[in-house]
Chains A and B, each alone.
Chain A
Amino acid sequence: MRRRVVITGMGVITPLGHSPAELFASVVAGRSAVGPIVHFDARTFPTTFASQVSDFDLAKYLPDAAKFRNCGVNTKYALAAGKQALADAGLLEIKGDRSRMGVYLGSGEGQENFEVLTSSTAKATAAGERTANLREAAGWLFKRLNGPQEAEAEMYAPSGYLADTFALDGPFASCQTACAASSQALGEAGEMIRTGEADVMLAGGSHSMITPTGISGFNRLTALSQRNDSPKTASRPFDLTRDGFVIGEGAGLMVLEELEHAKARGANIIAELSGYGSTADAYRMTDPHPQGKGAIRCMADALTDAKLNPTDIGYINAHGTSTQANDAAETAAIKSVFCDHAYKLPVSSSKSMLGHLIAAAGVAELVISVMVIQKGVIPPTINLETPDPACDLDYVPHHAREARARHVLSNSFGFGGQNIALVVSAFRG
């Protein structure tokens, strides 16, 4: 029989709370964390707002926080969320052999030093020119960049520091598949437990792109909402007037554990990670397939993997980005997989409140999905005011709803066509 994977710990750093309980209370209350960008001066950017983590201090989590002063927030958020998850699972204390405990982090690019990149390039570019003198530019970059900070910007750092700090000596991986990354990390980490390569995996994601480069990149692609006069209503998944996603940041980590291992040590089993599907669209770089071809197959694969029928699913936590293309394609895909049941099935988008945590989005939303099973309450899709004929499902508009769900499906679809669906189930021995 296949080894079963259960969730025994969870931790988050998000714009709506620094613990799973706070996060869930916020989304059930329909709160939005979206506001003006404070991380840098974005007042002249096409988009001036975001969903940001506030009051974060790594020293609250780690006594040696100063050691990480040169690290970017991808590392810092991951450490804080990881500590919560391991403490929740009762695995924080480092004793004995830890070589069957690993890390799988969906994470982002290391944060570049925008100020030095632009000023050095400017200095190496003659007035009126469109090309830089690269010899000079390299010289200025070498003089101006901060070596220790650059070292910490290497992409292995966030996953490496999780392993190093919490003595997770077993298998590791770290992926960057845009908005699908942390869901993919959870799914593949579960597979590493199923194959027997590990008994415990700390898995999830950590990401911030609320930087001048990140906002510039998404703004040039016209992917972000530009509703600057009303940031809190800007993320409006499935609404006819949606105009792009609202960028967020944060981290989430879960302790995934092989069932017998969890039982043997008397762990508190929160839920079971029962299904995983992963597909590629092979369609376009920025747009999902309009009928959701890849999304359909990944949801169907996740159900098959969980040995469930579509009617077993009691709630879908949608990818629901608030872009025109995603929300219509995702709705079409859900209808294709769930047929008549699609119309009886509550579907909501946490991004309406939380914004889009990019590489950390999937795990934050899976934490919410797990708590829906635990608490019997489904968080709403806020800002859904004008119905879109292409989006005609029950999106739980405005207000949370009490409902029992034994099995929940959560979607994450990434830029570049990576599609992930995960199924979590109430644990039954």
Chain B
Amino acid sequence: MVSTPRRTVLTGLGVLSPIGSTTDAFWDALVASVCGVRTVSLFDAYELPCRIAGEVPGFSAKGMIDKSYRRSLNAMARTVELGVIGSQLAMQNAGIAKGTVPPARIGIEFASLMGATDLNDMAAASKLSSPDDETVSHALWGSIGLPEITPLWMLKYLPNMPACHTTILYDIQGPSNTQIPGDTSGLVALFEAARILRRGTTDVMVVGGSEARINPITLSRHNLFVELSKRNDDPAHAVRPFDAARDGTVLGEGSAVFALEELEHARGRNATILGELVGWSAGVDRGKKGPGLARVIRNALASANIQPSDVDHVNAHGTGTTAGDAFEARGIAEVFGRDVPVFAPLSRFGNLGAASGLMELAGSVLALKHGLLPGTLNHEKLAADCPISVHTGAPRPVTKPYAVKVTYTDLGQCAAAVVKRWSDA
């Protein structure tokens, strides 16, 4: 590009996580190596093979939602509640009150997947429509079941609802989009938000991801097709990124929302700057072999105009699955060898799905800000198929200004973001 692109800085962060529901609590828990993976308590998961997960303890939207908007909670599933409250926390953290940015100059990019229906929303209708409890009669559902369903049923679960409610709550009239490519959704949303800021369409973007995954539908589904840990009796040590004894991941829930802002706009209102998004790339590694992920990481470094040796640490998805970690390690190793330490925060809170990318990124943004990199929890013995160097044990000082966040989906869709420690130089 000929002109210098508008710079994009992070000026607010809201988190609702299994290890803390304020930014400070989240950071303290990262440093103290607190684990938020526990036996599932939101429902009795006894019948499922994996019944441990990362839940947001004591989350109550009713107690946190802006009073003017409390009435709308009846149209929000837990995924939506987490997203809207996360946005509120991010906006408060950024110091942006409704109306202080012209509505057309602020937009939103969210990562959120289809919410699982609350089974109690369909219990009465299901009972009436399935007299034998084995099959369902469409004719009964259409005639006597359907009237038992709340009129707002569908609205509670649509993926674009966290963004939609947030636009109404904060009078956001710039672009509004919702990304759905699985675990990469959050970073893909972040990249698009940065593109929108760079081209001058808006000055502020709310960028978030939220997902509530600890419910009968989502947990039973994922028990069927995801390698989940069998360590039900030892949840705090269940997820073991890049470890020789890893045996699968666990699900988690939560919400991570950033305010991403054009630098001069942030300076103009004396915002506190948490870090800078300086580069990114997305691309596909067909068959999850490794070289494709390496290409994406290299492209991200090139877009930030930096070398691998400039990077303090790589923030990996590190799900603790057998094939996933091996793939990710191959890609990282091709670019960084064993020279740059890898930090994987997921073992502390589980795989948050649509919220995973930005929650994991928050770990690195805070690490750069505080100058301290926490260790990777439950990484004890490096697996032979993971040719990387994993940072483990006590926190160590941050020595270089950049961190690279990596994530992927099971179809090899890969995303990498480069963030830089903020300094006014």
Contacts and interface: CB of A to CB of B under 8 A. Distances in A.
Contact of A99 (B43, B44, B295): B295
A99 B299 CA distance: 10
A107 interface: yes
A416 B192 contact: no
A416 B161 contact: yes
Given A109-B159, A134-B44, A172-B283, A46 B146 contact: yes
Contacts of B49: 142
Contacts of B134: 119, 123
Contact of B286 (A107, A154, A169, A414): A169
Given A115-B136, A221-B155, A286-B155, A142 B283 contact: no
Contacts of A191: 195, 199
Interface in B286-327: 286, 292, 295
A188 interface: yes
Interface in A360-405: none
A279 B124 CA distance: 39
Interface string B147-158: 001111111001
B216 A175 contact: no
B356 interface: no
Given A130-B120, A168-B284, A172-B283, A150 B177 contact: no
Contacts of A136: 47
Contacts of B44: 134-135, 138
B107 A220 contact: no
B119 interface: yes
Interface in A180-208: 184, 188, 191-192, 194-197
A220 B175 CA distance: 28
Interface stretch (B29-37, B164-172, B248-256, B259-267): B164-172
Interface string B366-405: 0000000000000000000000000000000000000000
B245 interface: no
B153 A145 contact: no
Contacts, number: 315
A150 B224 contact: yes
Interface residues of A, number: 97
Interface stretch (A83-91, A156-164, A322-330): A156-164
A155 B136 contact: no
Residue among A102, A107, A121, A221 with max Cβ neighbours from chain B (10 Å): A121
A155 B217 CA distance: 15
A61 interface: no
Nearest to A223: B154
B76 to A, nearest CB: 10
B153 A122 contact: no
B48 to A, nearest CB: 6
A204 to B, nearest CB: 15
Contact of B174 (A118, A124, A280): A280
A148 B286 CA distance: 19
Contacts of B176: 177, 278-280, 416-418
Interface of B: 1, 43-49, 75, 103-104, 107-108, 113-114, 117, 119-120, 122-127, 129-130, 133-136, 138-143, 145-146, 149-155, 158-161, 163-165, 167-168, 170-185, 188, 191-192, 195, 198-199, 201, 216-217, 219-221, 223-225, 281-286, 292, 295, 409-413
Given A44-B140, A164-B412, 6 more contacts: A115-B135, A132-B119, A154-B409, A176-B159, A216-B146, A414-B160
Interface of A: 40-46, 99, 102, 107, 109-110, 112, 114-115, 117-119, 121-125, 127, 129-132, 134-139, 141-142, 145-148, 150-151, 153-157, 159-161, 163-164, 167-178, 184, 188, 191-192, 194-197, 212, 216-222, 278-286, 293-294, 297, 414-418
* Closest 9 pairs (CB-CB, A-B): A217-B154, A160-B411, A139-B47, A416-B164, A44-B142, A156-B182, A147-B224, A122-B130, A109-B114
